[in-house]
Amino acid sequence: MNNPFIGSGVALVTPFKNDFSIDFDALKSLVRLQISGGTDFLVVQGTTGESPVLSAEEKQAVLQCVLEENDGKLKVVYGVGGNNTLAVGSALKQVPKGVDGILSVSPYYNKPIQRGIIEHYKHISTCTDLPIILYNVPGRTGSNVLPETTLALAEIPNIVAMKEASGNMEQIMEIIRLRKPDFGVLSGDDALTMPLIAAGADGVISVVANAFPEKFSRMVHASLEGDYDTARKEHYDLLPITKMFFEEGNPGGVKIALRVRGICSDVLRLPLVSVSEGLMERIVLETKRIVEK
C-alpha cells in the first residue's frame, strides 16, 4: 500500500466554548480555513486536539463534524492510539466510513521495548484495512521508536508512513535513507519541516498550520518542489511564532493565534491552562504581523 499522505497535514485543535463544551461552529470554520488555505490532509484527534480530555462520544462527534464539513475535499486521518493494545484494536474496528487513514502513537507510559512496539503495531494493523501512520514522539511517550523498528514495521502492508517527532535529525535521515520507496516520512516538528523535506521527507503533520495554513502549505509545497528560496522565506518568517506556540505547551499558543484570526476561542480543558499574559501578548502581535503582511 502506497503512502497517500503527502504535503501539508494539520493536526486540528478542538475549539471549546467558555463553558468548556465543544464549539462545533468554530470547528467548521477551522475546517473551511484549512480547505481554502492549501492544506493537503486533516488529522482529527491528535494530541493537539486535546484528545486525552475528550470522551469517546465527543471524539466521535468531532470526527463526524469534520467529515461533514470537509465533504470529501481533503483526506481525513483519525487519531486512534494508546497503551492498551487490545483496546486500540477494538477502537479501530469502530472507525466510521469516510476516514482515509489512522494516526497511531507508539504506546506511552508503560514504555515497551522495541519488540513490544512491533507486536503492538502488528496487532492493530490486523484490526483495520485503513492505512496507518506510525507516530514517534519520545517526549510524550517516554520511549523512542528506533529506525530499525520503523523499517521493520514498514513491511506490514497497511503501515504506510511514520510521523517522526523525535527531533533527532540523524535518526530520521536514517529512516529516509533505508526506507522502501512507498513508505512515507512526515515531520512531527514544525520547525524541522523544511530541512526534513530537503533531506527527503514527504511532508508534515503540523500545529502551526492551524493558524497559518496559507503560509505553511506554501512553505511545504515549495520545499517539495525544490524551490528553496520561497521555502526558506516562509520557514524563517514563521520560525519565531513556531517557537512561541510551543513555549508553554500545545495547543495553548496556537489557540491564541486562532482567536486573533476570529476562528475560535483560546479555551483549554484542564489540566491544560492558558499561556501566560506575556507570551499571549507576543503571540497576538506576531499573529497580526503575519496576517496583515
Pick from 268, 202, 259: which is nearest to 51 by CA? 268
Closest to 263 (Cα-Cα) out of 51, 8, 15, 41: 15
Take residue 8 and report the three cell numbers written for it. Answer: 501539508
* Contact criterion met (CB below 8 Å) for 255 and 266: yes
For 214-240, letters b (16+ CB in 10 Å) and e give bbbbbbbbbbbeeeeeebbebbebbee
Which residues are annotated as catalytic?
135, 163
User: In a 3-state reduction of DSSP, which class is residue 149?
Assistant: helix
Q: How many CB atoms lie within 10 A of CB 67?
A: 19
